[in-house]
Amino acid sequence: KQEVTQIPAALSVPEGENLVLNCSFTDSAIYNLQWFRQDPGKGLTSLLLIQSSQREQTSGRLNASLDKSSGRSTLYIAASQPGDSATYLCAGTTGGGNKLTFGTGTQLKVEL
Amino acid sequence: NAGVTQTPKFQVLKTGQSMTLQCAQDMNHNSMYWYRQDPGMGLRLIYYSASEGTTDKGEVPNGYNVSRLNKREFSLRLESAAPSQTSVYFCASSVSGTGVTEAFFGQGTRLTVV
């Protein structure tokens, strides 16, 4: 059974700092890896999807990488802003199926 | 561009009552899912439907039933609500098959069972 772990559980940084969020998974047969953002009381917003054949994806100040051999994905946020404050979730599919297995998330606070 | 729409957004039930959570997507996706989110436990899959006419159990299906009404709609039913079913419920959809399987989520239904 795939298990996904996100470290740290919570993170507080000053505005402007570059930061890395970590996601590790137990089954290296991960197929797609997706990063989401969740604001308090809201749904999940898809940020980046790394497909099976890819190693990384970029969108604006966000960059996500996937290393299947080590069972890890990272989400890099450049020049963090208070508006980046949210919970970030990673989730992966295994073996070509579509069911996502989620980590428990990293709660990020960017302070002025 | 509605995406995935869930109704209701909030609901309070008494123990033993029944209700149906509704979900509809307008992206022509084949696959649809129901997850629940509980503090400290992340999102867990309740049921999913890989295509119209098929449904399968996920990680935590007990106490729930689903219906894939058509390609657009996937409902989740609680036949006899229990306090343990207090949670936030999310519906999601994605394109089925290998390749791009980006999932899109609704805004959630916050259910309290008293």
Name the B residues in 38-97 with CB < 8 Å from any A CB: 40-45, 48, 50, 58, 90, 92, 94, 96-97
- Out of B42, B103, B105, the one facing A103 most closely (by C-beta) is B42
Using CA atoms, how far apart are residues A39 and B89, in angstroms rounded to an integer? 15
Kindly report the nearest CA distance between residue A39 and chain B, in angstroms: 11
Amino acid letter, A5: T
Q: Which of A51, A100, A103 sits opposite B103 (nearest CB)?
A: A100
Residue A53's pLDDT band (boundaries 50, 70, 90)? confident
pLDDT of residue B100: 61
The mean pLDDT value of chain B amounts to 93
Q: How far apart are CA A38 and CA B55, in angstroms?
A: 27
Measured CA to CA, the distance from residue A100 to residue A27 in angstroms comes to 13
Nearest CA distance, B108 vs chain A (angstrom): 6
Neighbours of B102 (CB within 10 A): 14
Q: What confidence score (pLDDT) does residue A95 get?
A: 65
Residues with Cβ within 8 Å of residue B101, at least 6 apart in sequence: A31, A32, A49, A93, A98, B31, B94, B95
- Would you say A3 and A25 are in contact if contact means Cβ atoms under 8 Å apart? yes
Q: Which of B7, B25, B101 should be substituted to probe chain A, the one whose Cβ sees the most A Cβ atoms within 10 Å?
A: B101
Q: Could you write out the DSSP letters of every residue in A16-75?
A: T--EEEEEEES-TTEEEEEEEEE-TTS-EEEEEEE-TT-SEEEETTEEEEEETTTTEEEE
Indicate whether B1 pLDDT > 70.
no
